[in-house]
Amino acid sequence: FTLIPGQHYDTVGVAPLLEPADFKALLADKAFDVHWIVDALHAQRACVVIPQRKNRLDRRPFDATLFKARHLIENFFCKLKEFKRIAIRSEKTDKSFAAMIYLTAAIINSR
């Protein structure tokens, strides 16, 4: 029995992204409030901006003001998906899809 990608937890692909990264903070939703992610971020001296699940026993401080900036990123992805070629991923290669993302981002930015 194998799981298709849509059935995995959100945290499955996070570990390889955290190791080589050099960033000041990670803004994420409650799905990423797991101990190993928070510990990895603290080890890199990055700010953890993840709201805590209601069942978390060890509460930590949370910067709600910084978390509110996350909606700007969410809004950008919503605008990006308004373009049909991006939403249905009609490009045949990764390179052409990336080029279409850059073109679409430039159009959104110019509005």
Cα-trace Rg, the chain: 17
pLDDT at position 1 over 50: no
Regarding whether 30 and 15 lie in a shared domain, the answer is yes
Banded model confidence at residue 2, pLDDT cuts 50, 70, 90: low
Average pLDDT rounded to a whole number, residues 60-65: 86
Regarding whether 14 and 61 lie in a shared domain, the answer is yes
Is residue 50 exposed (0-12), middle (13-18) or buried (19+ Cβ within 10 Å)? Answer: buried
| pTM exceeds 0.75 | no
Banded model confidence at residue 111, pLDDT cuts 50, 70, 90: confident
Sign for the CA dihedral angle at 34, 37, 41, 43 comes to: positive
* Per-residue pLDDT tens digits for 75-110: 998 999 898 888 888 888 889 888 999 999 999 999
Give the domain extent around 86. 69-111
Regarding whether 99 and 87 lie in a shared domain, the answer is yes
Banded model confidence at residue 9, pLDDT cuts 50, 70, 90: confident
